[in-house]
Amino acid sequence: MRPLPPEVEAELAGLPPQEADELRRIWSLAGLPAPNVDHLSGDLWARIEAELDEAKVDEAELDAPAPVIPIAQARSRSAVRSTTASRSPRRAWFSMAAALALVAGVAVTWWATGTTTFEAGVGEQLTVSLPDGSTVNLNAGSTLSHERGFGDTHRNLKLDGEAFFSVESEAVPFIVETFNAEVRVVGTEFNVRARAEDGMPATHVAVKEGIVEVSQTAGFVGRLEAGEAVGVTHDITSIPEVDAGAWRSGAFQFAGFPLSALTAEIERRYDVQINVDPAIASTPVTMRLEAPETADDVLRTLAEYYGYALDSGSGSYTLKPR
């Protein structure tokens, strides 16, 4: 089914859950069954081509030169995006990224084997510039690694956790591997969330710009366009994404995730302990907060909205049904 437009989804986020759900149901019911128009498109292209070829003869007589598109223009979109990237010299970035990572208080390990690992600890976020000019924002409690030759012979990354990618367009495919899925792109912006330990052991992919292909070990899963999202578990579910990678600007956003996945995220971001009553742990929750400063902000809103009881002690919280 076609996902709800993000602008509408944002509006629904401010409504009582029951009302929002009803409006979502309306959206799913309101689709006009697409009539089959194959019998109309049959010879249509031939007709168009015939008309174009007719026009072409006239053009040839005019001998108009074909327009030249400057390479700079063709690349401009991605060039504007890369803020921390320096494309040359390629080797220099390694120390740069390392310095960047260390400033952020994060361990970078370059093993003799040639594996480079970036790790954003609990309560931290990290920006990584890759040798190909792509940029990655790594969310709290996440690890990203690649083998030697990244950007030269391959662009393969391994991700455990959550990251937002701004990928430079290049012929070499950019591949993000998670514990159960593979995301393949050319040039785009997208978010990958692979939390095997959460209540929902899924790889969640949301696309902000461009198109990516998602596959799991079982084979090809699908192609995602901007504004679409997919969760890879054992089944494919298309989820409307409000704003891919919103966590980078401090927003806290979950649509239809189990409560336990959300509390695990709060633990990672704010370095706190949260106990969730098993009776409510798998309840799907949807929430978005623009920039909550403390775990308290998030948990109070959550408890109030869904009618849970919230107890807090020294650095630990308990959520249970009221």
Partner 1 sequence: MHETLPFAVWCRRIQASDRAAFTELYQALQADLIRYALRVTHDERAAQDVVQETFVKVWQKRETLDPNRSLRALLYTTTRNLSINVVQSYRNRYGEADAEGLDRLGQASGVEARIDADRLSRRMQAWIEELPERRREAFRLSRDSGLSHDEIAEVMQVSPRTVNTHIVLALRFLRERLHAFEGA
Query: What residues line the site for partner 1 (CB under 8 A)?
Result: 2, 5, 7-8, 11, 22-23, 26-27, 29-38, 40-41, 44-45, 47-48, 51-52, 55, 66-69, 73-74, 77, 186-188, 208-211, 225-227
Tallying the residues shown for the chain, one arrives at 322
In the complex, least distance from residue 309 CB atom to partner 1, rounded to whole angstroms: 31
Question: Residue 187 or 245: which CB sits closer to partner 1?
Answer: 187
8-state DSSP, 247 = G
Question: Residue 23 or 251: which CB sits closer to partner 1?
Answer: 23
In the complex, least distance from residue 313 CB atom to partner 1, rounded to whole angstroms: 42
Q: Is the peptide bond before 89 cis (omega within 30 degrees of 0)?
A: yes
**Separation in Å, CA 306 to CA 26, 73, 194, 241, 301:** 22, 50, 26, 21, 9
In the complex, least distance from residue 214 CB atom to partner 1, rounded to whole angstroms: 16
Give 232's strand partners.
Answer: 203, 236
Contact 110, 116 (CB under 8 A): yes
Report the alpha-carbon distance of residue 120 to residue 122 in Å, rounded: 7
Question: Residue 57 or 69: which CB sits closer to partner 1?
Answer: 69
Question: Residue 127 or 169: which CB sits closer to partner 1?
Answer: 169
In the complex, least distance from residue 20 CB atom to partner 1, rounded to whole angstroms: 10
Question: Residue 33 or 89: which CB sits closer to partner 1?
Answer: 33
Burial of residue 59 (CB within 10 Å: 0-12, 13-18, 19+) is exposed
In the complex, least distance from residue 1 CB atom to partner 1, rounded to whole angstroms: 10
In the complex, least distance from residue 181 CB atom to partner 1, rounded to whole angstroms: 21
| Beta-carbon-side half-sphere exposure of residue 137 (alpha carbons within 13 Å) | 16
What the block records as the tokens of 111 is 């093993």
Question: Residue 73 or 113: which CB sits closer to partner 1?
Answer: 73
